[in-house]
Amino acid sequence: MTWVATSALAGLQAADCARLDRLAPLALPADTVIFRPGDAAQGYAVVLSGGVDVWLTGASGRELLLYSVVPGQSCVQNTMGLMAEAVYTAEARTTTETRLVVIPRALFLGLLDGSAPFRTLVFGAFADRMSTMLRLVESVAFTRAECRLAARVLALSAAGPVIATQVELAAQVGTAREVVSRRLDAWARKGWVRTQRGQIDVIDRAALDDLARADGGNLAGSGVA
Amino acid sequence: MTWVATSALAGLQAADCARLDRLAPLALPADTVIFRPGDAAQGYAVVLSGGVDVWLTGASGRELLLYSVVPGQSCVQNTMGLMAEAVYTAEARTTTETRLVVIPRALFLGLLDGSAPFRTLVFGAFADRMSTMLRLVESVAFTRAECRLAARVLALSAAGPVIATQVELAAQVGTAREVVSRRLDAWARKGWVRTQRGQIDVIDRAALDDLARADGGNLAGSGVA
DNA sequence: CGGTCGGGCGTGACACCGTCACAGACTTGC
DNA sequence: GCAAGTCTGTGACGGTGTCACGCCCGACCG
């Protein structure tokens, strides 16, 4: 039952693995809040199975999906908090039933000092997240909501029809529900999708893909030119 | 002339300091491009004097100031590149005459492995940047351009009148020049600022501060309510 | 079976924003 | 003083965020 052996931490030295294996994984139901803005970091969380979404919430209540943590990954927000005494500014919620291990602060810092492979892992994860955040800034700052929505719908449609309400989609791409409603309606009129309550069937994948790829900066202009 | 002694790296062990001191600082004129999107990271850059701004450029050519590197700090983009083999997605330019030291990849990785204080420094810097990026996402995603502009103008006005063109201000807050023009004009009509070509005098600091603090999410609504 | 309630959805109004196009004003260099 | 380049103002227009409102559907209940 050693969880370490099947995780990304399997490459560590035997002694370190043994220490980690003494930690008991947590089993959390879907939609559990793991931390909220203002909480202090307790430890380094590694997701073993399930999934965790990390959200940013604006003053007006609008939300934006920062990133999704999949099994094997950990949460940057944790890392930040442990390294720089910072406080969470985002909220993390499980998306499904999730098992995760929390490496306590002291053990985490000890491993960072003593284990080169662990350092590589943590640094790499951190750097990856940073690069994700950069792309996020880019898309939010320079891309139209319609393009972000198209990209999101495409991503969600990988496994059959998209099961999501407009409110959920709006939060995921950081826009308002009304915008989702109007865009979906426009796509449906063009025959790109079929919409029902809580579900979207993608019909013309290529059309949505074009939209998602479009810089989004000057679609208005490109229509004219 | 040992630059290390006067830098943030002064706390390292003597042997490491000596190794670092063998590196020759670079002197760069203002407005020099240090790296561009697509470049591979060469080393870990530490700014000794002057300043470096890091910009994101959208497909439409619009720009957004990601962060400013001040003396003593280093550039995350470098760190990312060194740790995760990533390439730059942003552009860095000196703002004034700048002295900086580039720690080559090998030496950087060696220090990371061997020196706990160096690790603390690098991790801390990285975590700080991450937190800056989070705030940036938040402001770009949830705050109106007018509020971001107010905040920026206030920040720049700390040392007397703001010397900047509308194009520069627009890039710094990630909006279009025309928006800057219209907002400044509106503020001027309310008596909050006085504008000249390339210069802005802040008159009513409190008014701008209110604007900058406003969530920006629902100012339209608050005017009505 | 009708009624109520709540969540999901559509839509009009309106202000803000990004883009394009263009014109006037100022600076600089000759 | 003139020309070129830069900085700035402005109108038009479509996309976006917010508010307000009403409809539809499923669930639950008497």
Please determine, for residue B220, whether its predicted confidence score (pLDDT) is greater than 60. no
How many residues appear in chain A?
225
Please determine, for residue B179, whether its predicted confidence score (pLDDT) is greater than 80. yes
Report if CB B189 to strand D is under 7 Å.
no
How far apart CA B55 and CA B136 sit, in angstroms, is 12
Instruction: Among B74, B105, B134, pick the best mutation site for testing chain A contact (most A Cβ within 10 A).
Output: B134
* Residue in A60, A112, A136 closest to B215 by CB: A60
Q: Measured between CA atoms, how close is A183 to chain B, in angstroms?
A: 19
Q: What is the pLDDT of residue B41?
A: 87
How far apart CA A166 and CA A184 sit, in angstroms, is 9
Q: Which helix (H) or strand (E) holds B52?
A: strand B52-57
Nucleotide closest in space to B140 (CA vs C1'): C17
Report if CB B195 to strand D is under 7 Å.
yes
Q: Is A127 helix (H, G, I), strand (E, B) or coil?
A: helix
End-to-end CA distance of chain B: 63
| Percent of the residues in chain B that have a pLDDT greater than 70, as a whole number | 95
How far apart CA A160 and CA B92 sit, in angstroms, is 43
> Which range is most confident: A120-134, A139-153, B53-67, B77-91?
A139-153
Contacts of B87 in chain A (CB under 8 A): none
Q: pLDDT truncated to tens, each residue of chain A (225 aa)? A: 588 888 888 888 889 989 999 999 999 999 999 999 888 888 999 999 999 999 999 888 899 999 999 998 888 787 777 777 777 789 999 999 999 999 999 999 999 999 999 998 888 888 888 889 999 999 999 999 999 999 999 999 998 899 999 999 999 999 999 999 999 999 999 999 999 999 999 999 999 999 998 764 443 333 222
Say if the Cβ atoms of A64 and B216 lie within 8 Å: no
Q: What is the pLDDT of residue A223?
A: 29
Residue pair B27/B92 in contact (Cβ under 8 Å)? The answer is: no
Task: Return the nearest residue to C26, CA–C1'.
Answer: B197
Say if the Cβ atoms of A140 and B136 lie within 8 Å: no
A6 touches chain B (CB under 8 A): no
Report if CB A1 to strand D is under 7 Å.
no
How far apart CA B64 and CA B68 sit, in angstroms, is 12
Nucleotide closest in space to A142 (CA vs C1'): C18
DSSP code per residue over B101-117? EEEEHHHHHHHHHH-HH
Mean pLDDT of B73-78: 83
| CB < 7 A to strand D: residues 176-215, chain A | 176, 178-179, 183, 197
What token pair was written down for B114?
């061997």
Taken in order B40, B43, B44, B46, the sign of the CA dihedral is negative
Residue pair B15/B4 in contact (Cβ under 8 Å)? The answer is: no
- Using CA atoms, how far residue A212 sits from A80, A145, A155, A196, A220, in Å, is 31, 10, 10, 22, 15
Nearest to B143 by CA among A215, A141, A136: A141
- List pLDDT tens digits, range A126-138: 888 888 999 999 9
Task: Give the least confident one: A70-79, B152-161, B183-192.
Answer: A70-79
What token pair was written down for A156?
């969600």
Nearest to B26 by CA among B53, B3, B59: B3
A76 touches chain B (CB under 8 A): yes
Nucleotide closest in space to A165 (CA vs C1'): C8
End-to-end CA distance of chain A: 63
Residue pair B35/B43 in contact (Cβ under 8 Å)? The answer is: no
Backbone angles phi, psi at A34, to 5 degrees: -90, -45
How far apart CA A138 and CA A197 sit, in angstroms, is 31
